[in-house]
Chains A and B, each alone.
Chain A
Amino acid sequence: MKRQIPMMIVLILGLLFVAHVFIPSKLSADYLDWFMKWTKVIGPFAIVLGVFSLVLVHYNKIKRKAPNWGYSIVTLAALVITTAVGFIWGIQEGTPYMWIFKNFNVPLGATMFSLLAFYIASAAYKAFRARSIEATVLLVAAIIVMLGRVSIGQAITHWIPDITEWILNVPNLAAKRGIALGVGLGMTATSLKIMLGIERSYLGGKD
């Protein structure tokens, strides 16, 4: 029963959604309305669950003095302080919450993302090698697109941005569409497998 009831729920709701999409009617619209209300109630619980899980994981790390447990203190302190200042002074511009956001969150986030440029530069020098014809084609395409996406490309010749657009609009588009079709078919097949109870990993563990 522990497995059958969730599987029944998945099958019934799955069929109802397929019906909702393909059979437009008042009943179908009412069903969506009913579903929306339920989702609005259930959705925010995910946040409570997320916070609870975060606190539990880091509390245990601190308790066990696991490797790098000091970072867990920082995480929990950030969670408590940000939440507290948000509740006390609000989250509008000019509040301590926005001060934390501007002076911690923004520079830290930007720092993490900007590291990417250094890794790409290092990889460009150390790893991008014309070892085969395919790799050479990739390298040439990358060089053209990199030049075509900045004004230097246009300054050299208008052909560079034109070729860049062609690369993005023809070979890139064809490859992306092929991948998207494959992913779409895969998702449909997986959804059917879940609805029919063939794929059960979402139920977790064993009986």
Chain B
Amino acid sequence: MKFSESMQKLDRRYIYIVLAIAVILPLVFPIGFKTYSTTPVEDLYRHIDAIAGRDDMAIIMDFTHDPGVMPELYPMDLAILRHCFERNIKVFTISFLPQGAAIIQLALSEVKEDYPDIEANIDYCNFGFKPWGLKLPIMLGMGDDIAKAVETNSEGLKLENLPIMQDIKNYDNIQVVVEISGSSMGQFWVTYARAKFGVDVAVGLTAVMAADVYPLLQTGQFIGSLGGLKGAAEYEQLVDIFAMNGQEFSKKKARNMKWVEQAYKNIPEKARLYKYNKARIGMDAQAIVHVLIILFIILGNIGYFLEQREQKKKYMK
């Protein structure tokens, strides 16, 4: 078999082995590639951070995603929750998927471990799972009265009696709805909650979905977005260098890598925990895999053109 032919007929199992090694090695031995922040992520961070310490404003996090997309989306869940708890920002969590409700439990308990002063129903409130069929009445109903639309939290307690709801009535008290999902669920929030009540919406999406949101970002219908593991890594970094250092957000500082490196030196020990660095460690593997896929494309094309040339020669003879 000729070289070009063997290149074309390469057993795909070799590709799988090379890929597996390229994924596993950087996860076991992190390389520590730098993370560069981008505008959609910075916009979301700044928007959430603007209500730090306020009792009359909150954010809603919609965890309508299942465990399949957790490697990409779970670091976002943790990073945003950590930002809220660190900066005393009230947060509501909800999911229209049953698996999403379990992910909320998992994320809340992981972040709460490091914030013992944060209390359920005072600093945050988990609305839990609400059936998919109720998403429309809940999204629309929250425009008038959140307590009336959602009724109970995940423990079955009436929302109207909870301390967190004292100064929070409807979307006027919601700074942003952050939809974290591997689907176009964010567009439902735009169609029903933003179009009718003007509430700001942002999304956290898997990388394959990230390109879909650009038209909505340009029009301002999404005020920010976290695209895949990279978006999560950027948000993790912003939380570390600003929130964990007790600093106000500054775009200029966020993009000055020397300042970022300096800021990392001052972050508290709890920010160095593996669970808060998952996305950045994962980005090492993703960077290597991207380069590997590019190499595969180039090698595959070299084989293709060599084979084409040989066929042409054969035909000429």
Contact = CB atoms under 8 A, between A and B. Distances in A.
A154 B301 contact: no
Interface stretch (A3-11, A40-48, A54-62, A194-202): A40-48
A137 interface: no
B36 A147 contact: no
A155 B283 CA distance: 14
Given A112-B68, A172-B214, A176-B212, A152 B287 contact: yes
Interface in B126-171: 131-134, 136-137, 140-141, 149
A165 B20 CA distance: 29
Contacts of A110: 67-68, 70-71
Contacts of A142: 297
Residue from the set A106, A161, A165 with the largest chain B CB neighbour count within 10 Å: A106
Contact of A125 (B36, B136, B297): B297
A110 B294 CA distance: 24
B230 A150 contact: yes
Interface string A177-202: 10010000000000000000000000
B290 A147 contact: yes
A121 B19 contact: yes
B293 to A, nearest CB: 5
Contacts of A139: 297, 301
Chain B interface size, as a band, is 35 or more
Contact of A98 (B38, B106, B211, B215): B106
Contact of A146 (B36, B131, B294): B294
B297 A154 contact: no
B290 A126 contact: no
A130 interface: yes
Interface stretch (B8-16, B51-59, B81-89, B246-254): B8-16
A122 B16 contact: yes
Nearest to B109: A93
B123 interface: no
A120 interface: yes
B174 interface: no
Nearest to A47: B131
Contact of B296 (A47, A91, A121): A121
B124 to A, nearest CB: 14
Contact of A44 (B99, B108, B131): B131
Contacts of B132: 43, 46
Given A121-B19, A124-B300, A128-B297, A150 B286 contact: yes
B34 interface: yes
What 8 pairs across the A-B complex have the smallest Cβ distances? A43-B133, A109-B67, A109-B68, A150-B287, A125-B296, A36-B137, A151-B33, A113-B68
